[in-house]
Amino acid sequence: MEILNFIIPFIILLTVVVFVHEYGHYYFAKKYGVGITDFSIGFGKEIFGFNDRSGTRWKFCLIPLGGYVKFFGDRNVFSQTEQEELLKKYSVEDQKKLFVTKPLYQRSLIVFAGPLANFILAIMIFAFIYMFAGKDFTPAQIQEVQKNSPAFISGLKSGDTILEINKKKVNSIMDVSTYINTSTKEYIEIKVLRNDRDISLKIKPKIIQSKDALGNALDKKIIGIKVSPLNGAFNRERLGPGTALFYATKETWFVTTASINFIIQIFKGKGDTKQLGGPIKIAKITGQVAQHGLIAFLSIMAYISISLGFINLLPIPMLDGGHLMFYAFEKILGRPLTQKTQEGFFRIGLFLLIFLMLFTTINDLKDIGIF
């Protein structure tokens, strides 16, 4: 019964973010007149589904780890000659519904629309939370500085109010830990307000083995300060639609740029690869978060949606970003890459995806204590 507490929230979350991603592709494909034969949530054997008036089969399949939109006449066409051969198989009317006959900008928008839909979903979720549950604006005032800690050595003092971390404005006490732990720099620059003066300090954090709020192990950066609201009073405000959208967009952008910096650090050999997780870890965290209520569940859905959009934009063949990379080459060269070249890229992309799946699965198994 306990496993259902993890599996059910995970399936709900994944269904929503995958549906939104695929609907982004679907919407722009329909907009530009591309025929769509299937809209699937999941892979494998169909569990149930229905046909709409345009002939699209909407279905849920047995393996709920992804989804796809299948276009009419869907196949890779690597050259002009192949495209001409393909067109001979269809009537003039059906040719208009083929994805490969659409202008480059339309194909690019159809592909980009999936990740874009995920970012929009995250913005809408954050805005909803800020409007109805509120956003915290409690000033980040330091109540205690541990003796001989990095903060103590650098000159931070009790009573300082943190204004910025790495040139990012600190709007809330909640931002402090987030900005410190997502920093990829050796030294963290902190601007504080002290006696009506702005003071900037550089601090080298310690990295310790710790646990997050849900009890999951992680490496945590600390500088040795206790930040808490005066008299325990948090300042949480419900925002209007415009302000909520502003902060929601800002949060989505922050998570996206933090993900980019994390990938860069991994390529440099400095990133913490233990934090990479796959479906097992996502299911575990989703189940843990769901027990804390709807707002917490919606928050993790927003973060997973951003991750799905971001990962799909990576320039890896077989992902949306890989297709966009091919279209960029097509624009520069004035023609598609040759079949041999594209197949070579696809082999590399398949290898990278299989390697990533194996790596994250091993991390997941370590996380739950199997390895």
Q: Which positions are catalytic? A: 22
Q: Which residues touch 315 (CB under 8 Å, ≥6 apart)?
A: 321, 322, 324, 325
Closest CA to 159 of 169, 151, 149: 151
Rounded CA-CA distance 288/278 in Å is 16
- Phi-psi map region of 159: left, alpha, beta (phi>0 left; psi -120 to 50 alpha): left
Q: What share of the chain is helix, strand, coil (3-state, %, to 5)?
A: 50, 20, 30
Instruction: Return the beta strands (E) in 90-152 as ranges.
Output: 135-136, 142-145
Report the chain's C-alpha Rg in angstroms: 24
Rounded CA-CA distance 75/98 in Å is 10
Rounded CA-CA distance 211/207 in Å is 12
Number of other CB atoms surrounding residue 353 within 10 Å:
15
SS (H, E, C) 250-285: HHHHHHHHHHHHHHHHHHCCCCCHHHCCCHHHHHHH
Q: Is 34 helix (H, G, I), strand (E, B) or coil?
A: coil
Closest CA to 277 of 362, 192, 153: 362
Treating both helix axes as pointing N-terminal to C-terminal, what angle do 339-367 and 279-290 enclose, rounded to 10 degrees? 50
Query: What does the block give as tokens for 118?
Result: 């995920």
